[in-house]
Amino acid sequence: MTDTQFDIAVIGGGPGGYVAAIRAAQLGLKPVVIERENLGGICLNWGCIPTKALLRAAELRHSIDEMADFGITVGEVKVDLAAVVKRSRKVAGRLSMGVKHLLKKNKVTVIAAEAKLGAAKDGLRQINLSNGDMVSAKHVIIATGARARALPNIEANGKTILTYREAMVPETMPESLIIVGSGAIGSEFASFYHDMGVKVTLFEALDRILPVEDEDVSAFVQKSFEKRGIKIMTGVKLQAVTSDANGVQASIEGQDKPLQASRMILAVGITGNTENLGLEATKIKVDRGHIVTDQWGATGEAGIYAIGDVTGPPWLAHKASHEGIICVEKITGQKDVHAIGAGAVPGCTYCRPQVASVGMTEAAAKQAGHDLKIGQFPFAGNGKAIALGDDGGFVKTIFDAKTGELLGAHMVGPEVTELIQGYAIARTLEATEAELMATIFPHPTLSEAMHESVLDAYDRAIHF
C-alpha cells in the first residue's frame, strides 16, 4: 500500500461506516474504510434492501389475488422462486456497487481485510490487517455491525434451521415454517413466506407480537396475521428443537406433542460483532455483546469510537448512518452538533400491514408520568386508502396534555413506512398540536389520516 497513515480509520463499511467515511472526506479529512466482506454491510446485502425486494414480490403476488375486486381478470399465477431471489440479490449488488462508487468519488481509501486494534503511539492508533499490512490513524471508528443471536442449545444448520441469511435465498419453498421471534425480522419473514403460499407459525416468548410497538398496533397486526391464516403462539418457551430429514420438531413447555414443520427461522435478535477486534487490550467496555459509548460515540479508550448496531438497540441502518455523521462532526469540532434525542429514531416494519412509529408508546408515556391526549384515526375513513383497496389500519398520536408536545406516533396500514417521516420531522422541530393542526395536508392522500389523528386527540376530527 502507498498510504498507511490516515486521519480516521473506519472498521466496517456498512451504513454507519461508509457514511462516516464520506462525511469525514467532506470535512477535509483523509479516511480509510476497512471492510472484510461487502460494502453496504448487512443492511444493504442481507437485510434492509434485499428483504424489501422479496416483500415487494410477495406484495405483487397478493395484489394479483385481489385483481378481481378492481375489475381486472388475470390468468394462472406462477411464481418463479429462483427469479424472485435472483432479483433480490441483483438489487443488493447494484446498491453495493453504488456505495463503492460513492467512496471512490469522495476519495475514501477502501481496504478489503479484517482489522484488529494495535498499540497507540505518537498520537496514532495502529491497526493490524488480516492481509499482513498495517495502517495507523488519529481516530478509529468501530462500525462492525451485528449478527443473528442464537438461542441456547438451538443451532442453525443452514438447511432446516435457518438464520435470516438462509431464509432470504430459499431454493424451494417449504410446505410449513416455524418462525421464532416476532420482531421486525420475524414478522417480515412471516408475511413474505405466507404470501408465497407457506403455512406459517409465528412463535413469540413475550405476551404479544411486535413487542416494542404500541399495544394497539401489536393487537391489530396479530389480528390481521391470524385473519390471513398465520398461526401465532405468544408466551411460548421452547424446550428443545430437533431436526431430521422430515423437518423440524419444536418441543414447547406445557405441551406434550412437539410442533412439526418443514423448516424453522431463528429471528430472536442480534448481538454485536465485538470479537477479534483487540478490544481486550483497551479500556473499551462491552456490555451484553455491545460496545458502550457516550452520546457522541466515544468509548472508554481515547481516540476510539463506535457507532451503529455494535453499540446496541435500536438496530437500525438510519440510526447508524446518523451516528456516523454525528461522531465525525464531533471529532472535527463542528458547531451545532446535536446528539440523537430519546425517541427520535423512527422504526419501520415492512410486513403486511406495514408498521411505523416514532417516540413513546402510550404505555411508556404513562409510565413517564405524562398526562395524555390521544388521537386515533382509521384508514377506513380515508378516501385514498379506500380507493387503493387497502383501508385496514390506523394512525395513533400521543400528546402531552399540558404542553402539546408530540410524545409519540404509531401507524399501521398502507405505506405508513413512507409517512412516518412527517411525525419524525415534527418532533425534531418540536412542533406541538397547534402547528400540526394548522398544517394543510393535501387531498386525497394517506397523509390526511395523520392530520385527522392529531385533530382527534383534541376532539376536532372532521371525518370520524
Active site residues: 443
Distance, CA of 154 to CA of 252 (rounded, Å) = 13
Question: Dihedral, CA atoms, 6, 7, 13, 14, nearest 10 degrees?
Answer: 180
Q: Residue 24 in 3-state DSSP?
A: helix
**Residue 11 and residue 125 in contact, taking contact as beta carbons nearer than 8 Å:** no
Distance, CA of 339 to CA of 74 (rounded, Å) = 52
Distance, CA of 144 to CA of 155 (rounded, Å) = 23
**Residue 202 and residue 179 in contact, taking contact as beta carbons nearer than 8 Å:** yes
**How many other CB atoms are found less than 10 A from the CB of residue 354?**
25
Q: Pairing mode, if any, of strands 270-272 and 238-244? A: unpaired
Residue 129: which residues within 8 A CB-CB, separation 6 or more? 34, 111, 113, 114, 115, 116, 135
Exposed, middle or buried, 81 (CB in 10 Å: 0-12/13-18/19+)? middle
Peptide linkage before 314 cis (omega within 30 of 0): yes
**Residue 88 and residue 50 in contact, taking contact as beta carbons nearer than 8 Å:** yes
- Which H helix or E strand runs over 81? helix 81-105
C-alpha atoms less than 13 angstroms from C-alpha of 186 in its C-beta half-sphere = 32
Residue 229: which residues within 8 A CB-CB, separation 6 or more? 194, 199
**Residue 224 and residue 392 in contact, taking contact as beta carbons nearer than 8 Å:** yes
Distance, CA of 112 to CA of 227 (rounded, Å) = 48
Q: Where are the beta strands (DSSP E) in 175-246?
A: 176-180, 199-204, 231-234, 238-244
Q: Residue 157 in 3-state DSSP?
A: coil
DSSP-derived secondary structure for 361-377: -HHHHHHTT--EEEEEE
